[in-house]
Amino acid sequence: MASLVPCPHCGQRPKEEFTVKGAALARPTADASPETWFDYVYLRDNPRGLYDEYWHHTSGCRRWLVVTRDTATHEIEGVRDASAKKEAAE
Amino acid sequence: MTDFIIEHRAALGEKKSSSFMGVKLEVLPEGHVLHALAGSADGDLSGAIRTALGLEALAVRFVTPGQWFIVGDNALSHAELTGLADRLKPMVDIVDQSHGRIRIGLSGEKATAVLAKGTAADLALAAFPVGHATMTLIGHIGAHITRTGENAFELMVLRGFAESLWDELADMCAEFR
C-alpha cells in the first residue's frame, strides 16, 4: 500500500489519514440489467498494475479523491478530486 | 425536581500556559469559532468573507474547498451571531462551533520541531507559509493547524480531545525543558 498520498488540496499526506473505499467504477444506468448491477456491486477485477480507487481524506480535507495506484509497485500515478473526475467523464 | 445551575468550565481550565526552552504552549481564549460553508466547493470566498465582516487576514482560515473557520478571541452573543450570519447569508452559511472547538497556541523557534513530531503535514515555510491552514492528524487526534507567524502556530481541536492533545504537546515539548 502506498504510504504517502499527494492530496490535491492538502499536499503529501500519510495513508493513515485516508479511508479506502475501493475501485472507482463507472456506475451503470438505473435501468441496466440485473447482471450489470451484480457485476458493478460485487465483482472485482483485482488487476496487476494501474487502477483507479476511491479514497476519502477522512482526517484531512474530507474530500473524496480518485487515486490511480499501481498494485504491483505501490506507486501513485495521479490523484484528483472525485468531483473533477465526473466533469472529465462528461 | 432539582434545578441544576449550568456551570461553564473551560476545556483546558486545569492547564497553564507553559514556556520551555524555545517553545511556548498557550491556552487560548474560548472566543468564537464559526464554520462557514459555501454551497459549492469551487472558488475561494475567504477574501470576500474578510471584506464583508472587516476582519484581519488570520481570522478566516481555510478548512477544505468551500469551507472556512472564522476565529476570534471574543465570545459572541446570539444577536451578534445572527447579525453576522445575515451579513454573510447569500455567500456562506454559518455553524457556531465556539463550544465545540478549542484553540491551543504553539510558538517559539522550536515550535516547528515540536509539531513535526506529531504530524506528517509539511511544515516548511515554503510549503506552509504564514496564514496557511490545514486539517491533519497530530498523533491520532484530528486537528486544524494554522501558521500565525514564522515560528507560531495555532492548533484547533474538538473540545473533548483538547486535554489529550495538550498533554501530548507537553510531552513533545519535554526535550526542551
Name the residue ranges covered by the structural domains of chain B.
14-30+100-177, 31-98
Q: Read off the pLDDT band of A2 (50, 70, 90).
A: low
- Please give the pLDDT value at position A63: 96
Domain count, chain A: 1
CB contact under 8 A, B41 and A13: no
Residues of A with CB below 8 A from B132's CB?
none
Given B65, B127, B137, which is nearest A59 (Cβ)? Answer: B137
Q: Look at the domain B14-30+100-177 and name its fold.
A: Gyrase A; domain 2 (3.30.1360)
pLDDT of B8 higher than 70:
yes
What is the domain-level CATH number for residue A28?
3.30.2270.10
- Class (C level, CATH) for B31-98: alpha beta
Distances (CA, A) of B2 to A48, B6, B8, B149: 67, 12, 19, 49
Interchain contact, A11 vs B136, CB within 8 Å: no
Q: Does A59 contact B122 at a Cβ distance shorter than 8 Å? A: no
Distance in Å from the first CA to the final CA of chain A: 30
Domain membership of residue A37 as a residue range: 4-89
Q: Do A62 and B136 touch (CB under 8 A)?
A: no
The beta strand positions in B53-116, using DSSP E, are: 60-64, 67-72, 92-96, 101-107
Residue of A nearest to B63 (CA): A61
- Cell of residue A81, nine digits: 478530486
> What is the average pLDDT value for chain A, to the nearest integer?
90
pLDDT band at B2 (very low <50, low <70, confident <90, very high): confident
- pLDDT over 60 (residue A90): no
Q: How confident is the model at residue A1 (pLDDT cuts 50, 70, 90)?
A: low
Provide the residue count of chain B: 177
Report which of B151, B152, B61, B68 is spatially closest to residue B104, judged by C-alpha positions.
B152
